Structure 1
Amino acid sequence: MIHPHITDALKVPDLVRLTDGLVLIRFESMKIYSALAAVRHLLEQRTLRPGQTLIDSSSGIYAYALALACHRYGMRCHIVASTTVDTTTRAQLEILGATVEQVRPSANLKLDQELRVRRVKEILVGHPDWHWMRQYHDDVHYLGYREVADRITTALPGVALTIVGGVGSGASTGSLVERLRVTDPSVRLVGVQPFGSVTFGSQDHHAPEAIIAGIGSSIVFDNVRHHLYDTLHWLDFSHAMSGTIALLRDHAVFAGLSTGAGYLAATYEARRHPDRLHLVIGADTGHRYVERVFARHAEALDPTALKPVEVSAPEEMTMPWSRTEWRRTARPASGKERAA
């Protein structure tokens, strides 16, 4: 097959068997599905006009995905980037035609995200004709992952399935499971969060370097549908890093930090539930984590010696790794106002 645009080749994931009970769905850059479908749909609905400028904030992979979608559909792109966006990613964004501004370095997830959201709002005051993609809140970002869910159903028919992935904006795990449960309501969803994220109530736990994970939030994300999640894991940076290093060492998979965190959580879940197949979402490759994660591989912990503390509610959690049965309950009271 000859693809009409590079996005068609990049978006398609590979399924990799890790163990009998563990399969990785590996993306080059997962959010390409989300960005392509969202831009296409908004153009078809005439919410967007050809050539309009699209703006959003991102810690990395959504920025790349949106720049690619804009390149494909002839749109302009402006990114308010996290301090974690590396030189390689920024260079690609700029060459693709996106304009990029990066917020000042922050010591924690909360300040980084608040600075980005604040800056987007400031820009929109001066450019009211620009369209804010609102990846955290607009459910148009659920559309693209339905195709991924259908691929999973075709590739893994008739299995007792558990999806394991970083929560982040909520769109990827939420969309996959909603689609899969149409035909199989027993599909389970395990969400992975860093400490310090407001999404499932860990905002009072301030983990050093949690910002690197990119799978949590200091603001309420409307695209997170809490009632879809069966189980939650909270991990600190050292555990996420250890899972990431183990994935490369044991399976030769060079993936990002959220994938490593998911791999560690899924390995634990697979031991508890050997009757189920656990599908780990590998959202991106490891390239943007070389200095912060892979160059520090000597610091990685032995994953076989790690296990979470089992808690019955978020307020009982403790670092560096906690797990709870969420049981598809609603959003917790966080006391935080939505920031966008």
Structure 2
Amino acid sequence: MHGNNLSGELPYSLRHCQALRIIDVEGNKLTGEIPTWIGQLHSMLILNLRGNKLHGSIPSQICNLTNIQILDLSINNFSSIIPDCFNNFTVLSRKYIQNLEFDEILFVSLDLMNGNKHNGYSSFQWKGKESDYWNNVKWLKLIDFSSNRLTGNIPKSFSTLRGLISLNLSRNSLTGYIIPDIGNMEVLDALDLSHNQLSGKIPTSLAKINTLGFLDLSNNDLSGKIPTGTQLQSFNASAYDDNDGLCGDPLPKCPGDILRPSTTNSKGNMNEKDSVFSFMQEVGISMGFGFIFGFWGVIGTFIWKKSWRIAFFNLLDVVGDWFYVRIVVFVSKWRRN
């Protein structure tokens, strides 16, 4: 039912449709709140309420949709905090899963649409762009709460969604830190947390997500150094724009990096200079002690012991006479020859 001019609220009678797998009412004029009975539809695979005029809070009952693979509540007027109960999403918590039931339902849906593949099955926000999905929608695992008025912290239970491929919480009023365990979302391909009020440092665990192909953390209050030696430095600088406290590649260097030598060679040269300086200090100290104990040890003895002083100078006289005699004898023999 997406892309019409439907108005009013979601009909209460839908609570009886226990076998309902897909609700797609994107791009209408629906109002009211998300009904709490939505949590009774345990077979739900896709819930797409995007682009309506819905308001109020996101009910915690939505976490009872244990088989959900696509949850899109973007571009509405939802407020309050995001419920912290996403660890109930058993399908999204598994890294790899083949949902045969999803394949069967998708096949029937495509058949009912007369094979008009040019219109697409549904559209979602993907890596900052509007994308239409057809057969490959079965592989998509997406949560999109963007463009609302949500507040509070990012729920820690998001870190349990090891099979989630795209998470978009942008354009809200979220505060606090990026959850430290976000790196547990091992197959995440797109992460958009831009245009919020998030603060603190970028968690180092985010760099462990090797599949991450799209990242937007711009327009927040993040600070600190972008983790070095990681793929986070390979993203364009626009992914980190308008975070006054952030620094490091691909942004300008941090103040500490500017003052600190940047190359290993310079560190090696400094270590070598330090070693030479330390050696010279040791030599100087040794010479000082040698002078004190050697020179003054002898001279001091002569000053305090008169008998030693007399004996020493007598010895010098004897040695001098011996050398004189030896030289005279040597010169006499040399002249005879």
- Normalising to structure 1: TM-score of the pair? 0.24
Q: Larger Cα Rg: Structure 1 or Structure 2?
A: 2
- Normalising to structure 2: TM-score of the pair? 0.24
Larger relative contact order, structure 1 or 2 (CA cutoff 8 Å, min sep 6):
1
